[in-house]
Structure 1
Amino acid sequence: MPAWRSFAMTCGRKYAITLPSNVTGNLDFTMANEPPLEHFIRAAAHDLKGPLNRINGFAELVVRKNGDQLDAQSLEYLGIISRSVDRMSLFIDDLSHYVRTLTDDTPFESVDLNSLADAAQKSLGTMISERSAKIEVEPLPTIVGSPELLTTFFAEIFENAVVFNDATPPEVRVTATEEGNNHSVTISDNGHGIEEALLQRVTEPLLRIDKREGHSGLGLALASQIAERHKGTLRIASTPGRGTEVTFDLPK
């Protein structure tokens, strides 16, 4: 019986490769067998959300079947379980969205930013209505880009501007200017602003300046990646107590 050699290689995950002993020389192992990052994240998200859904389902079942036999503290514990599951599910969804943005290679096309800003508002309709928020959009240019990513860009900035805003009502204004070969789109709000010491870090993934539940800390990181995908830059200016301005500079 011939002798065999076994090699274990790590390429994102481990693969066991068994080769005859007479094979010599350098072998070119590529990433061909490794699923793309987006596929991996989607599969991982599916596997993570399955147990989370079961945890939440059983917690709700306990309340429905035995709620009248539980004291207030026990019901509160079950509520904490349910809210924690919701928070984790949101994080998984946001992380999947973030990775899709990093790996997106959809061809660009001519897009009207006015229609994309409107679509973003409609996607946040319930939240905007609940807060009686006012979003004013001045005429915006037509550019070359990804409709999906740019709609996501507006939605992320609008959501931050409304949610992290204690003003009554929250107000958001979108303006555009041209300078040389660049367009600049600025979204300003009347929120509580960001401390200067944190301004340089606000686009870091998972940085949560405000600890309110329901948000993963990926919003501005995602917006920054979308700007970069369009060969643009994101500038953020803020004054505590007076609001924040997010400016997207992009080539014509």
Structure 2
Amino acid sequence: MDRWKRVLSSIGPRTVVIGLGAFYIVFSLVWGSVRVQGGTPAGNVVVVSSLIGLLGVALVYGGLALSRSDIRPEFYPDVAGWTLVGFGAMLGMLVVYNSQPADSISNPARAILFLTSFSSLAGFGVGIYDARAKTRATELEETVAKLEASNERLEQFAYAASHDLQEPLRMVSSYLQLIERRSADELSAETEEFLTFAVDGADRMRRMIESLLEYSRVETQGEPLSRVELDRVLEGVLDDLHGPLSESDVEVTMDSLPAVTGDERQLRQVFENLLTNAIEYGGTGPTTVHVSATRDGPWWNVTVEDDGIGIAPDDQERIFDVFQRLHSREDHPGVGIGLALCERIVERHEGRISVESELSEGSTFSVTLPVIDTER
């Protein structure tokens, strides 16, 4: 196959298609002239000759238009190859058919010209479809490769930026604290307050950089997807959050959760973020959080439902953006990247995360995760 492509490339794929079309145009005229001179009624000859000629014109036009199409030049030989396949296949069938005396064609020249021109045009159409599909596939592969390269560069930049920025931030924070300790007796209350704000700002910037780095490395630093028992993941998160849960008077209940295909460490982050948010935004009284799952075809829909302060409808899309906050840092600390990180992790699992909520009515976060392949 590759050898034929090289041959067609050396001849010129467009030349092959245009030449075949020109062949039909010329020979339809020659055949028509011969038949008229032989006494065949001119009307019949003109109809058949015109049909063959038009099929040839269509091939010529198609060959000329290839350079203006969205097909990549490296796939032109495929178009020419399919055109010749159509021609050869029909010619072969006609030769075999005509070799049988009982089934011989009364006017083989007309049949060969008409049927092979039609099959050549059909082959050209198949070739166009095939070449266009290969063009799309190649462009998609190139786009994916560019995105992967871009993501790799972004990750390298994020890592370098985080490493280079954190060191001066640590230095700023350390020296500010050193000034505060050594000059505590000489500083006014207002100056001490300013120093506290400066140290807090440096620490907050460091946490934002660390969070941004973690966000940028979800794809490249994740573990291969495998079987994950969500019951075990959630139990581990509840053990880690035992102190905050007790202090905030939050009760977590759960149904039996399924096993899914995923990255256990990253799914643990998702549950930890969602439960931490439920604790943080649980309101002033006792809060109940319920975790459950339902099957929906090849997906598990895992929900985390709380009866906390809720989210306004206009803010429900915005909360998944990086560094988007709905409340002041004095009321609710944090860098505002937790739900954006959850969304990126869930997207890596080819799922999605969404929220349904009303102010003062609580929130329900839904996460879709793939069912294990053997259970589909």
User: Normalising TM by the smaller chain, what interval?
Assistant: 0.7 to 0.9
Which whole-Å deviations, capped at 9, do the CAs of 1:24-57 have from their partners, x for residues lacking one?
xxxxxx998x964333322211111111111111
Report the secondary structure of 2:367's partner residue.
strand
Give the conservation status (yes or no) of the 8 Å contact 2:257–2:293.
yes
What's the counterpart of residue 173 of structure 1?
290
What's the counterpart of residue 234 of structure 1?
353
State the Cα distance separating 1:211 from its structure 2 match. Answer: 2.3
What's the counterpart of residue 32 of structure 2?
none
What's the counterpart of residue 277 of structure 2?
160
State the Cα distance separating 1:202 from its structure 2 match. Answer: 2.1
Cα RMSD between the aligned structures?
2.3
2:238 to 89, 96, 121: 121
TM-score, normalised by the number of residues in structure 2: 0.55
What are the equivalent positions in structure 2 for 1:73-92 lying under 5 Å apart?
73-92=190-209
Report the secondary structure of 1:103's partner residue.
coil
Instruction: Specify whether residues 125 and 42 from structure 1 end up closer, same or farther in structure 2 by C-alpha distance, changes over 3 A only.
Output: farther
Report the secondary structure of 1:101's partner residue.
coil
Which whole-Å deviations, capped at 9, do the CAs of 1:73-102 have from their partners, x for residues lacking one?
111111101111121111111111111114
Which stretches of structure 1, 4 residues or more, deviate above 4 A after TM superposition?
none
Give the conservation status (yes or no) of the 8 Å contact 2:261–2:370.
no
State the Cα distance separating 1:238 from its structure 2 match. Answer: 0.3
1:218 to 298, 318, 337: 337
Whole-angstrom CA distance in 1 between matches of 2:160 and 2:235: 32
What's the counterpart of residue 78 of structure 2?
none
What's the counterpart of residue 60 of structure 1?
177
Instruction: Specify whether residues 130 and 87 from structure 1 end up closer, same or farther in structure 2 by C-alpha distance, changes over 3 A only.
Output: farther
Which whole-Å deviations, capped at 9, do the CAs of 1:219-250 have from their partners, x for residues lacking one?
11111111111111212100100111101122
Instruction: Specify whether residues 104 and 162 from structure 1 end up closer, same or farther in structure 2 by C-alpha distance, changes over 3 A only.
Output: same
Amino acid at match of 1:82: V
Give the conservation status (yes or no) of the 8 Å contact 2:260–2:369.
no
Instruction: Specify whether residues 125 and 36 from structure 1 end up closer, same or farther in structure 2 by C-alpha distance, changes over 3 A only.
Output: farther
2:302 to 185, 207, 210: 185
Whole-angstrom CA distance in 1 between matches of 2:158 and 2:247: 33
Greater mean deviation of Cα atoms: 166-175 or 192-201: 166-175
Instruction: Specify whether residues 81 and 124 from structure 1 end up closer, same or farther in structure 2 by C-alpha distance, changes over 3 A only.
Output: farther
Instruction: Specify whether residues 76 and 160 from structure 1 end up closer, same or farther in structure 2 by C-alpha distance, changes over 3 A only.
Output: same
Relative to total residues, which structure has the larger helix share, 1 or 2?
A: 2
Report the secondary structure of 1:144's partner residue.
strand
1:150 to 262, 267, 276: 267
Amino acid at match of 1:77: F
2:228 to 107, 111, 119: 111
State the Cα distance separating 1:135 from its structure 2 match. Answer: 2.3
Whole-angstrom CA distance in 1 between matches of 2:170 and 2:177: 11
Which whole-Å deviations, capped at 9, do the CAs of 1:161-204 have from their partners, x for residues lacking one?
11123232343221111233321110011221111111232212
Q: Which has the higher contact order (CA 8 A, sep 6+)?
A: 1
Instruction: Specify whether residues 65 and 105 from structure 1 end up closer, same or farther in structure 2 by C-alpha distance, changes over 3 A only.
Output: closer
Larger Rg over CA atoms = 2
What's the counterpart of residue 141 of structure 1?
258
What's the counterpart of residue 247 of structure 1?
366
Whole-angstrom CA distance in 1 between matches of 2:351 and 2:296: 14
Whole-angstrom CA distance in 2 between matches of 1:167 and 1:47: 41
Give the conservation status (yes or no) of the 8 Å contact 1:164–1:210.
no
Give the conservation status (yes or no) of the 8 Å contact 2:282–2:307.
yes
Give the conservation status (yes or no) of the 8 Å contact 1:193–1:242.
yes
Instruction: Specify whether residues 132 and 93 from structure 1 end up closer, same or farther in structure 2 by C-alpha distance, changes over 3 A only.
Output: farther
Amino acid at match of 1:103: T
Whole-angstrom CA distance in 2 between matches of 1:179 and 1:75: 57
Task: Extract unaligned runs of 5+ from structure 1.
Answer: 1-29
